[in-house]
Amino acid sequence: MKPASILIYGFGNPGREDDGAGVALAEQVRAAALPGVTVDSNYQLNIEDALLLREHDLVVFADASRNAVGQFRFSRLEPAASVSFTTHAMPPESVLALCLQLYQTVPPVYLLEIGGAAYNLREGLSAAGVENTAAAGTFVLELLRQPSFAKFEAAAVAQV
Amino acid sequence: MAQKITIEPVTRVEGHGKVTIHLDDNCNVVQSRLHIVEFRGFERFVCGRPYWEAPVLVQRLCGICPVSHHLAAAKAMDVVVGAGTGHGLTPTGEKMRRLMHYGQIFQSHVLHFFHLASPDLLFGIDADPTVRNVVNIAIQHPELARQAILMRKYGQEIIAATAGKKIHGTGAIPGGINKHLSSEERDAFVNGIGGNPDLSISKMIEWAEAAIALLLDHHQKNAAFLDSFAAFPSNHLSIVRKDGALDLYHGVIRAVDSTGNRIVDDVDNQEYLDIVAEEVRSWSYMKFPFIKQLGKEQGWYRVGPLARLNVCDFIPSPKAQQAFEQFRAYSSGKPNNRTMHYHWARLIETLHAAEVMRDLLHDPDLQSGELVTKGERREEGIGIIEAPRGTLFHHYRVGEDNLIKMCNLIVSTTNNNEPMNQAVHCAAVDQMNGKAEITEPMMNAVEVAIRAYDPCLSCATHAIGQMPLEITLHDAAGAVLDQRRKNM
């Protein structure tokens, strides 16, 4: 089955090197101008993004990661059973939980973590960030070219 | 055994910070400090860049209040390009910037209240952290949560329409603005974005009023706590319009002491260095600003919503003015020195921001008129704005080669450095004195005191997997007695 409306949502601060990897990936996808694919980006996730989830059939969050993810890691997100907060921003799982709670539905949401190496005050990605974002972009564009729920799910399972 | 408790970093506060509380042998609090790692590299980073880049460059500082930095830098560069010190812009230039700014104030205040403050207020600061959060607000108060989401979205859309985009907006430029608001955009904001009447300016005003009513109802039931928790006398500083009105975009510098005596009397914002100085303390990376004439010990001050409502004479919008009168009457017309009343003041400002947006959206200057003005080039410019969290100072010098050669910033959270330390100490004494055991609610009480100031430690990035919470307990010799860590 094919999702009619897919959202690619990159978040981070492009003025802080690899923190902008998710936004850079979103721009790669935007440039591809794929039908049925909407692209958005912001500094970070927040409460209003629960509304955005409700408006799409499938969502991919893309963000830089300090976890050991190699070039990138693709995983299925579930609403957070217990919620803890960082600061003014919300963790992805909490946005799902908020969406589910308010609208009684949440689409399949995946997290594309892009391996980051540097987070200094500088515009542009590090060399490793460029390489990792390109690899993640190739990966997600392949999923988007002939998208299906099963294809996204299989890709997430394959990376577990 | 004397103990030192460390909470690092502070949850639900931007960036990296830690709190240390020193206990004596009887478990009485003897000293409390908030340590914040302030990012200072930015001022060096911006030097050598063309001055016209500053309004965009400074947004790298922060993903929380980039609009405030964007506008403060633009205001400083207005002076540099000879466009005057606040009112020299064209009507379109100034009004478009005001719409952007009040959109930012609106969405930021809404986020703070609903996401950060309301879980503490509605569930109690001693509630289980797994239920003291915005998702539980959605369970227990779903209509409130839905309204908060739409109010945030409304403010974000105002910013996108005026700044050009959500990230690294380019709307404000030296001497003005680079776009009008189209009549289609205006109609959407007036009647409902995307045809949704719940995303109209009248709904924003209605819900902002309802939020104040909610807070006042809560206050009625919990007055003892809200009036006494982390309350302490202080000076208050903000900019105000020349006639004493609340004005978050531009004005003169005014400060009052804890009883309402005027201690800084409407000084031109280009003269801020005559008023404010910064002290360095060995134990903190963040400076401590103070009013020069009062000195380091007596000159510290609060900024932000509470300070602004203590400093101004009136609010120039009818519904917010009505709420302001009730606020001022509660402290008999004197400054309100109660930390938890920041939340009340913040919601009054939220209502005011909605009323200002409504008035601007009906102003035809947004659809036509000159966008930019320039005059005689100057080498120095200062831009001061009331950011959501308080007064924000941007100061630049620009060489004949058009490159920035000096930059000095005093951000809102830095202005509130000493008040936050005072609040931490009050909360620690109140909650921890004489207690042999440190509990989660006690820890949270300290955070609640800090959160009232809505601090933003702008150096933070938000990559997945960073910023765990560490709580460390030290004895008098510095040995770690206990350490807890949780992911955030």
Mean pLDDT of chain A: 90
Confidence of residue B119 (pLDDT cuts 50, 70, 90): confident
pLDDT digits (tens, 9 = 90+) for B127-175: 877 777 788 888 889 999 999 999 999 999 999 999 987 777 899 999 9
The shortest C-alpha distance from A3 to chain B (Å) reads 23
For an interface test with B, which of A16, A19, A48, A65 has the most B Cβ atoms less than 10 Å from its Cβ? A48
A-chain CB neighbours of B129 within 8 Å are: 84
Per mean pLDDT, which range of B29-33, B241-245, B300-304 is the poorest?
B29-33
The shortest C-alpha distance from A123 to chain B (Å) reads 8
Q: What is the pLDDT of residue B100?
A: 98
> Residue B55 contacts by C-beta under 8 Å, 6 or more apart in sequence?
B70, B71, B73, B74, B77, B170, B172, B173, B174
The shortest C-alpha distance from B38 to chain A (Å) reads 14
Cα(A44)–Cα(A88) distance, integer angstroms: 9
Max CA distance (Å), chain A: 43
Element counts in chain A: helices (H) and strands (E):
5, 5
Q: What is the pLDDT of residue B40?
A: 57
Confidence of residue B451 (pLDDT cuts 50, 70, 90): confident
Confidence of residue B476 (pLDDT cuts 50, 70, 90): low
Confidence of residue A88 (pLDDT cuts 50, 70, 90): low
Cβ–Cβ under 8 Å, residues B476 and B2: yes
Is B39 in Cβ contact with A121 (below 8 Å)? Answer: yes
Confidence of residue B481 (pLDDT cuts 50, 70, 90): low
Mean pLDDT of chain B: 87
Q: For residues B202-221, give the mean pLDDT.
A: 96
Confidence of residue B42 (pLDDT cuts 50, 70, 90): confident
Residue of B nearest to A94 (CA): B135
Cβ–Cβ under 8 Å, residues B390 and B375: no
Q: What is the pLDDT of residue B455?
A: 79
Residues of chain B with pLDDT > 70, as a percent, come to 87
Q: What is the pLDDT of residue B32?
A: 80
Is B114 in Cβ contact with A15 (below 8 Å)? Answer: no
B-chain CB neighbours of A88 within 8 Å are: 14, 64, 111-112, 115-116, 456
Q: Does A30 touch chain B (CB under 8 A)?
A: no
Q: Does A105 touch chain B (CB under 8 A)?
A: no
Cβ–Cβ under 8 Å, residues B307 and B344: no
pLDDT digits (tens, 9 = 90+) for A131-152: 999 999 999 999 999 999 999 9
Q: What is the pLDDT of residue B63?
A: 65
Confidence of residue A35 (pLDDT cuts 50, 70, 90): very high
Q: Does A28 touch chain B (CB under 8 A)?
A: no
CA-based nearest residue to A44, from A60, A75, A22, A24: A22
Q: For residues B288-304, give the mean pLDDT.
A: 96
Per mean pLDDT, which range of B94-103, B336-345, B375-384, B479-488 is the poorest?
B479-488
Is A97 in Cβ contact with B135 (below 8 Å)? Answer: yes
Cβ–Cβ under 8 Å, residues B311 and B238: yes
Q: What is the pLDDT of residue B13?
A: 38
For an interface test with B, which of A17, A61, A69, A86 has the most B Cβ atoms less than 10 Å from its Cβ? A86
The more confidently predicted of residues B469 and B83 is: B83
> Residue A157 contacts by C-beta under 8 Å, 6 or more apart in sequence?
A76
Residue of A nearest to B43 (CA): A121
CA within 13 Å, CB half, A118: 14
Q: What is the pLDDT of residue A14?
A: 85
Q: What is the pLDDT of residue B19?
A: 75
pLDDT digits (tens, 9 = 90+) for B427-445: 888 877 777 666 777 777 8
Q: What is the pLDDT of residue B384?
A: 97
Confidence of residue A42 (pLDDT cuts 50, 70, 90): confident
Residue of B nearest to A117 (CA): B463
Nearest by CB to residue A65, choosing from B63, B114, B465, is: B465
Q: For residues A7-35, give the mean pLDDT.
A: 93
Cα(B68)–Cα(B71) distance, integer angstroms: 5
The residue behind tokens 């490159």 is B403
Q: Does B1 touch chain A (CB under 8 A)?
A: no
Is B488 in Cβ contact with A91 (below 8 Å)? Answer: yes
Confidence of residue B26 (pLDDT cuts 50, 70, 90): confident
Cα(A111)–Cα(A73) distance, integer angstroms: 8
Q: What is the pLDDT of residue B6?
A: 55
Nearest by CB to residue A12, choosing from B133, B134, B462, is: B462
Q: What is the pLDDT of residue B318?
A: 98
Q: What is the pLDDT of residue B9?
A: 42
Q: What is the pLDDT of residue B73?
A: 96
For an interface test with A, which of B58, B135, B207 has the most A Cβ atoms less than 10 Å from its Cβ? B135
Is A97 in Cβ contact with B63 (below 8 Å)? Answer: no
A-chain CB neighbours of B58 within 8 Å are: none
The more confidently predicted of residues B131 and B348 is: B348
Residues of chain A with pLDDT > 90, as a percent, come to 68
**Helices B142-163 and B183-191, axial angle in degrees (round to 10):** 170
Per mean pLDDT, which range of A113-117, A152-156, B28-32, B394-398 is the poorest?
B28-32
Q: Does A133 touch chain B (CB under 8 A)?
A: no
B-chain CB neighbours of A110 within 8 Å are: none
Q: What is the pLDDT of residue B353?
A: 98
The shortest C-alpha distance from A152 to chain B (Å) reads 21
Cα(A139)–Cα(B276) distance, integer angstroms: 53
A-chain CB neighbours of B41 within 8 Å are: 121
Nearest by CB to residue A41, choosing from B14, B149, B167, is: B167
The more confidently predicted of residues B444 and B208 is: B208
Is A66 in Cβ contact with B466 (below 8 Å)? Answer: yes
Per mean pLDDT, which range of B201-205, B282-286, B329-333, B404-408 is the poorest?
B282-286
For an interface test with A, which of B56, B464, B469 has the most A Cβ atoms less than 10 Å from its Cβ? B464
Residue of A nearest to B62 (CA): A13
Is B468 a residue whose pLDDT tops 60?
no
Confidence of residue B36 (pLDDT cuts 50, 70, 90): low
ipTM of the predicted structure? 0.77
Q: For residues B364-379, give the mean pLDDT.
A: 96
Residues 57-96 of chain A whose Cβ lies under 8 A from any Cβ of chain B: 63-67, 80, 82-92, 94
Residues 5-24 of chain A whose Cβ lies under 8 A from any Cβ of chain B: 11-16, 18-19, 23
Cα(B454)–Cα(B2) distance, integer angstroms: 31
Q: For residues A94-123, give the mean pLDDT.
A: 91
Which of A81-90, B61-70, B412-421 has maximum average pLDDT? Answer: B412-421
Q: What is the pLDDT of residue B215?
A: 94
Cα(B362)–Cα(B105) distance, integer angstroms: 19
Is B129 in Cβ contact with A84 (below 8 Å)? Answer: yes
Is A87 a residue whose pLDDT tops 70?
no
If DSSP codes are grouped into helix, strand and coil, which group holds residue B265? strand
